[in-house]
Chains A and B, each alone.
Chain A
Amino acid sequence: MIEARGLSKRFQDKKRGEIRAVDNVSFTCQPGKIYGLLGANGAGKTTTLRMLATILEPTDGTATICGHDVVEQPEKVRANVGFLSTATALYRRLTAQEFVEYFGRLNGLDEATLKKRVDDIFNRLDMNGFRDRRCDKLSTGMMQKTSIARTLVHDPPVMIFDEPTNGLDIMTARTITSFIRECRNNAKTVIFSTHIMSEVEKLCDTIGIIQSGKLLAEGTLAQLRDQHHEQDLEEIFVKVVTPHYTAAEAN
């Protein structure tokens, strides 16, 4: 379970002054559901998810993950979260197995549990063929699987995906999307951000549309269609976002 309450993040920029990257955002994600954060580039998706993953600290407001506050107990929050983004790269000089084991150990697993968990994950994701291959020698697909294995090694109840399919080819992207579905089926709380409409339509139970750091609309796909009298998600998105999409931000 994720509960964000008035989550805000302001940055100081030398040229543009104060920037409200995330502005008073509140939402709830339930276990066994997928929450999709839909927004253009620079809308505040990454900052929001980074705050949930405690990589960044909120300027105002807070969020709780499995009852742990992101500001007060960041280490406990991270122990309950699997975080995956296109920016979360692998340690190239470690083998796939060493890489996953490293994160297992950092999550406090003892050696016996770790071995069992790693064997299980490597079997499940069909990764035994490149277990001992160094990460810099892996194909993109293998790298994605290794990243997935990292997020699973401590079996977290909450999964955070930040534009996980960005820049991936179709087959690799499918590995990720089917993994996201699997997480939902395993009763995990899932939140993911994207700017790809079709992913949202296919995957999400709840959709949040974010622009200029503000959460502008929220609901199931059916609810959004009703509210905005449009069938197509892209049309809905444009309708919601346009009044807030100023020329300055387009730059």
Chain B
Amino acid sequence: MSLRNVGIVYRKELTEALRDRRTLISTIIVPLFLFPVLSVGFGALAVSLVGKAKEEVPKVMLRGGNDSPAVVEGLKKLDKIQIVPDTADWKDQIINKEIRAAVEIPAGFQSDVAEQKSDTVKVYNYEGEMKSEFATEKVETYMKEYRDRVVRDRLTAKNLPETVLKPFEVTRENVAPPEKVSGAAFGGIIGYMVILLCMTGAMYPAMDLTAGEKERGTMETILSSPISRMHLVLGKFFLILTAALSTAALSVLSMGLSFNVLGHYTGQAGKGGSEAASLVLKLGPKTVLSVFLMALPVAVLFSAVLMTIALFAKTYKEAQSYLTPMTFVVIIPAIAAMLPGVELTPKLSLIPILNVSLLCKELVAGTYHWNYIAIIFASTSVYAAAALFIAIKMFQRESVLFRS
């Protein structure tokens, strides 16, 4: 027997898949539009929201300070914040976001400063709320500058140089190349997305070609034809693999394009904070290709495992309830790889999904650990082969094919 029969089954399954709206959506539309929507959409939204938040002139309530006109004048002169007079319900106003912060100048502040007594200026805010943080920051910056001025004046008064308080500076400087910086930040996400999309791409055809076939009553039809069950399962497997890979390929492609567009957009807007996005642009074709190559055995593994599980189900719905939890089985190791501090070790390189996810992080950062690449490719291939072997065995079991 030759591969001819596998090819016949594959071609027929491909024809059917291309005529099925659900398959087209899950393998082509979703990966193609997910990244643009996620990255450009959210990116643009975040940039514009942050911009708007920065443009807003936050209201800050001034409490006390009647006997400290200098600091009050200074605060009132600050552009980009609006000082409002004290009211009793200031706490509620902050919580209800009517004002963004409140600054409390203690009684006798100005004279205390003059007499060199220590005081505390309190800034009340809504922690974690972005606009409140901005307002707080502005008030704090002003108060710190004010303090520095006082210190400088005191030093000058005593004829001491500023270095008395600052004997030396501490600075930091990045020496890692920019693509490695962005790799450390974004590599995990890219591997994770490719792995997850490989899975979503394989999921629908895996159900359609097994449980779907049982449900529609064509299983008996195909089993009565002379094709061997191994050729049949291989033909189906290759179609599921094609779907997984095209989903992954399209997602990588659309990811590259979206980051380009995003980089361009944020570049033009000239806003800070988008440096990371433009750094991702340094993803070369070599990186993209190597991420894709590592996704290959993962796609084989997913296709075989999902097909085997879905084969047990009698109906499409039943298959869905078996396969949906599988998403979590995949997401957990993929997310684990994104946790800070989790790095490739010989042991971790044997854990399926997690290993590829970790490796993708390194690949995106431009680091090629060839021994790890070899171990991970080999181990994933072994898992994939085992899964495919089980799938073929399951297809020969009457209790699975004709489960009642």
A136 to chain B, nearest CB (A): 10
Interface residues of B in 206-244 (CB under 8 A from A): 216-218, 220-221, 223-228
B403 to chain A, nearest CB (A): 11
Is A89 in contact with B217, judged by CB distance below 8 angstroms?
yes
Q: Is B402 an interface residue (CB 8 A)?
A: yes
Is B8 in contact with A85, judged by CB distance below 8 angstroms?
no
A85's nearest neighbour on chain B, judged by CB, is B220
B193 to chain A, nearest CB (A): 30
Q: Which of B8, B217, B218, B223 contacts A105 (CB 8 A)?
A: B8
Given contacts A57-B398, A93-B15, contact A106 B224 (CB under 8 A): no
Is A88 in contact with B224, judged by CB distance below 8 angstroms?
yes
Contacts of B228 in A (CB 8 A): 75
Interface residues of A in 113-139 (CB under 8 A from B): 134
Is A89 in contact with B221, judged by CB distance below 8 angstroms?
yes
Contacts of B223 in A (CB 8 A): 55
A247-B147 Cα distance, complex, nearest whole Å: 99
A144 to chain B, nearest CB (A): 13
Is A53 in contact with B224, judged by CB distance below 8 angstroms?
yes
Contacts of A56 in B (CB 8 A): 398, 402
Is A87 in contact with B217, judged by CB distance below 8 angstroms?
yes
Q: Is B343 an interface residue (CB 8 A)?
A: no
Interface residues of A in 57-103 (CB under 8 A from B): 57, 75-76, 78-79, 81, 83, 85, 87-94, 98, 102-103
Contacts of A75 in B (CB 8 A): 226-228
Is A55 in contact with B12, judged by CB distance below 8 angstroms?
no
Q: Is A108 an interface residue (CB 8 A)?
A: yes
Is A103 in contact with B15, judged by CB distance below 8 angstroms?
no
A59 to chain B, nearest CB (A): 10
Q: How many of A's residues come within 8 Å of B, CB to CB? A: 29
Contacts of A102 in B (CB 8 A): 8, 12
Contacts of A30 in B (CB 8 A): none
Q: Is A24 an interface residue (CB 8 A)?
A: no
A57 to chain B, nearest CB (A): 7
The residue in A76, A93, A107 that gathers the most chain B C-beta atoms within 10 A of its C-beta is A93
A88's nearest neighbour on chain B, judged by CB, is B221
Contacts of A106 in B (CB 8 A): 5, 8-9, 225-227
Given contacts A75-B228, A107-B225, contact A92 B216 (CB under 8 A): yes
A82's nearest neighbour on chain B, judged by CB, is B224
A77's nearest neighbour on chain B, judged by CB, is B226
Q: Is B275 an interface residue (CB 8 A)?
A: no
Q: Is B162 an interface residue (CB 8 A)?
A: no
A87-B20 Cα distance, complex, nearest whole Å: 23
Is B15 in contact with A150, judged by CB distance below 8 angstroms?
no
B236 to chain A, nearest CB (A): 13
Interface residues of A in 153-205 (CB under 8 A from B): 154
Residues 26-61 of A, flagged 1 when their CB comes within 8 A of B and 0 if not, give 000000000000000000000000000101110000
Q: Is B56 an interface residue (CB 8 A)?
A: no
Given contacts A56-B402, A91-B12, A102-B12, contact A78 B216 (CB under 8 A): no
Q: Is B148 an interface residue (CB 8 A)?
A: no
Q: Which of A83, A91, A107 contacts B218 (CB 8 A)?
A: A91
A166 to chain B, nearest CB (A): 13
The residue in A53, A91, A134 that gathers the most chain B C-beta atoms within 10 A of its C-beta is A91
Contacts of A76 in B (CB 8 A): 226
Q: Is B137 an interface residue (CB 8 A)?
A: no
B398's nearest neighbour on chain A, judged by CB, is A56
Q: Is B16 an interface residue (CB 8 A)?
A: yes
Is B218 in contact with A103, judged by CB distance below 8 angstroms?
no
Is B226 in contact with A94, judged by CB distance below 8 angstroms?
no
The residue in B19, B20, B226 that gathers the most chain A C-beta atoms within 10 A of its C-beta is B226
A13 to chain B, nearest CB (A): 9
Given contacts A90-B218, A93-B20, A106-B5, contact A81 B12 (CB under 8 A): no
Contacts of A107 in B (CB 8 A): 225-226
B380 to chain A, nearest CB (A): 33
Is A78 in contact with B225, judged by CB distance below 8 angstroms?
yes
B12 to chain A, nearest CB (A): 5
B18's nearest neighbour on chain A, judged by CB, is A93
Is B8 in contact with A89, judged by CB distance below 8 angstroms?
no
Residues 280-316 of B, flagged 1 when their CB comes within 8 A of A and 0 if not, give 0000000000000000000000000000000000000
Is B226 in contact with A90, judged by CB distance below 8 angstroms?
no
Is B217 in contact with A88, judged by CB distance below 8 angstroms?
yes
B164 to chain A, nearest CB (A): 84
Given contacts A75-B228, A102-B8, contact A150 B221 (CB under 8 A): yes
Residues 108-123 of B, flagged 1 when their CB comes within 8 A of A and 0 if not, give 0000000000000000
Contacts of B9 in A (CB 8 A): 106
A102-B7 Cα distance, complex, nearest whole Å: 11
Residues 5-32 of A, flagged 1 when their CB comes within 8 A of B and 0 if not, give 0000000000000000000000000000
Given contacts A53-B224, A55-B223, A89-B221, contact A94 B216 (CB under 8 A): no
Contacts of B226 in A (CB 8 A): 75-76, 78-79, 106-108, 154
Q: Which of B220, B225, B398 contacts A103 (CB 8 A)?
A: B225
A78's nearest neighbour on chain B, judged by CB, is B226
B3 to chain A, nearest CB (A): 13
Is A87 in contact with B5, judged by CB distance below 8 angstroms?
no
Is A89 in contact with B216, judged by CB distance below 8 angstroms?
yes
Contacts of B398 in A (CB 8 A): 56-57
> Known contacts A89-B217, A91-B216; can you find 12 more A-B pairs with CB under 8 A?
A75-B227, A79-B226, A88-B218, A91-B12, A92-B216, A93-B15, A94-B15, A102-B8, A103-B225, A106-B226, A106-B227, A150-B221
Q: Which 3 A-B pairs have the closest CB atoms?
A: A89-B217, A83-B224, A88-B221
B contact set with A: CB distance below 8 Å: 5, 8-9, 12, 15-16, 19-20, 216-218, 220-221, 223-228, 398, 402
Instruction: List 16 interface pairs A-B (beta carbons < 8 Å), by A numbering.
Output: A55-B223, A75-B226, A75-B227, A76-B226, A78-B225, A87-B217, A88-B224, A89-B217, A89-B220, A93-B16, A98-B15, A102-B12, A106-B227, A107-B226, A134-B19, A150-B221
